[in-house]
Amino acid sequence: MLVLGIETSCDETSAAIVRDGTRILSNIVASQASLHDLYGGVVPELASRRHVETLVPVVREALRKGGVGPGDLDGIAVTNGPGLIGALLVGLSFAKAFAYVRGIPFVGVNHLEGHLAAIGLEREEMPYPHVALLVSGGHTSLYRVEAFGEYRELGRTRDDAAGEAFDKVAKMLGLGYPGGAAIEQLATQGNPDAIRFPRPHRRSGDLHFSFSGLKTAVANHLASLGDGPGEQTVRHVCAGFQAAVVDVLVDKTVRAARENEVRDVLVAGGVAANGAIRAALEHGLAGIGVRVTAPSIALCTDNAAMIAAAGTRRIARGERAPLSLNAYSRLPLGSNVGRA
Ligand code: KG4
Ligand code: ZN
């Protein structure tokens, strides 16, 4: 089965061709980062407009690179939430028109399910049940995954997502948007113990997260320095901040794996691209005999191949979306909203 995946939920315009939900023939990602960098974060209206300009060329490139014509496609999978509503509607409207004209099925895919499905493009299916840690710019949640499509949320952030905290700290340090990768890089040259930042919610006894207090602690520390941090201080702040995020993510994930008696943990989402976080999770979970699996870095951040991977499974089950399918800025994982 050949499926075209479309992803426009935030600031990447992406289209991919995936065979049988497992083999990537092409995965084109046009990042808008330089557009939004000027403003230190994503400007929703600008994102929508850029998707309108970029989507058709990106789909053409995905077809060309995949060696596929529109007539070869068996279906279309498109992100219909959660995300920026205007941005989502660009991809959704395109997918509906394309599916209607070609007379092929299309399905709406939950962006979070896409992140979890990315791993299926690189290895055989994860054993069930497993715990999934989803860490991205918009979400930080733990789930118990019973089977494909069956998720129970175990905990979530009470305020900022981990990626949002990375981006806000990066902005304070003048590192540009998005800043997760820049912080990771500078952290390698800093001392994680030079500045001790709080580990919010670490000992809360539940599986929820909180990152806004950590962000504020970084802001207060920077304000206390007066003239702004020197180069080495910036590196220490990056290392100290990242170490705090790592400690909280590891503790909560270990707790979730233990309480749920699973042998496997999947880590997904843009922040899962962080090598220090991956290594610490592997180390922490190995201590209780649990394996950690994460997609390769390119498949952690937003891309359409992961949407095609999840959508193919839904199409194969016989799911079809009506042309009235809507987009949702909030769409909990596993909800049936908008499904046919
Ligand atoms: O999954 P994603 O591409 O988009 C959302 O669905 O949100 O995640 C983007 C987030 C951004 O906050 C970005 O700073 C963060 O992932 N990120 C990282 C790294 N690479 C991307 N955070 C920490 N370390 C990284 N290497
Ligand atoms: Zn994402």
Per-residue pLDDT at 325 exceeds 90: yes
Ligand nearest to the Cα of 295, by number: 1
Q: What is the pLDDT of residue 335?
A: 76
- Of all atoms in ligand 1, which is nearest to the CA of residue 83? 6
Per-residue pLDDT at 50 exceeds 50: yes
Q: What is the pLDDT of residue 338?
A: 54
Q: What is the pLDDT of residue 340?
A: 47
Q: pLDDT-based confidence at 334, cuts 50/70/90?
A: confident
Q: What is the pLDDT of residue 124?
A: 92
Q: What is the pLDDT of residue 230?
A: 94
Q: Give 179's contacts (C-beta < 8 A, 6+ positions apart).
A: 166, 167, 169, 170, 171, 173
Mean pLDDT, residues 230-258 taken together: 98
Helix (H) or strand (E) holding 95: helix 85-102
Least confident of 61-70, 162-171, 226-235: 226-235
Q: How many CB atoms lie within 10 A of CB 182?
A: 19
Which of 42, 109, 133, 136 gets mutated to test ligand 1 (max ligand atoms within 8 A of its CB)?
A: 136
DSSP string across 182-243:
HHHHHHTTS-TTTS----TTTTSSSS-B--HHHHHHHHHHHHHTSS---HHHHHHHHHHHHH
Mean pLDDT, residues 5-14 taken together: 98
Closest CA to 125 of 148, 141, 151: 148
- To the nearest whole percent, how much of the chain has pLDDT over 70? 99
Q: What is the pLDDT of residue 227?
A: 85
The fold of 128-294 is: Nucleotidyltransferase; domain 5 (3.30.420)
All structural domains of the chain with their residue ranges: 2-117+299-316, 128-294
Per-residue pLDDT at 275 exceeds 50: yes
Summary mean pLDDT of the chain = 96
Q: What is the pLDDT of residue 154?
A: 98
Helix (H) or strand (E) holding 162: helix 162-172
Is residue 276 within 6 Å of ligand 1 at its C-beta?
no
Least confident of 33-37, 121-125, 234-238, 331-335: 331-335
Is residue 248 within 6 Å of ligand 1 at its C-beta?
no
Ligand nearest to the Cα of 271, by number: 1
- Of all atoms in ligand 1, which is nearest to the CA of residue 115? 1
Mean pLDDT, residues 45-74 taken together: 98
pLDDT in tens, 305-322: 999 999 999 999 999 999
Q: Give 60's contacts (C-beta < 8 A, 6+ positions apart).
A: none
* Pairwise CA distance, residues 234 & 214, whole Å: 16
What's the pTM? Answer: 0.97
Tokens of 133: 């840690």
* Pairwise CA distance, residues 166 & 159, whole Å: 14
Per-residue pLDDT at 337 exceeds 70: no
Q: Output the CATH code of domain 2-117+299-316.
A: 3.30.420.40
- Of all atoms in ligand 1, which is nearest to the CA of residue 301? 3
Is residue 302 within 6 Å of ligand 1 at its C-beta?
yes
* Pairwise CA distance, residues 254 & 280, whole Å: 11
Per-residue pLDDT at 339 exceeds 90: no
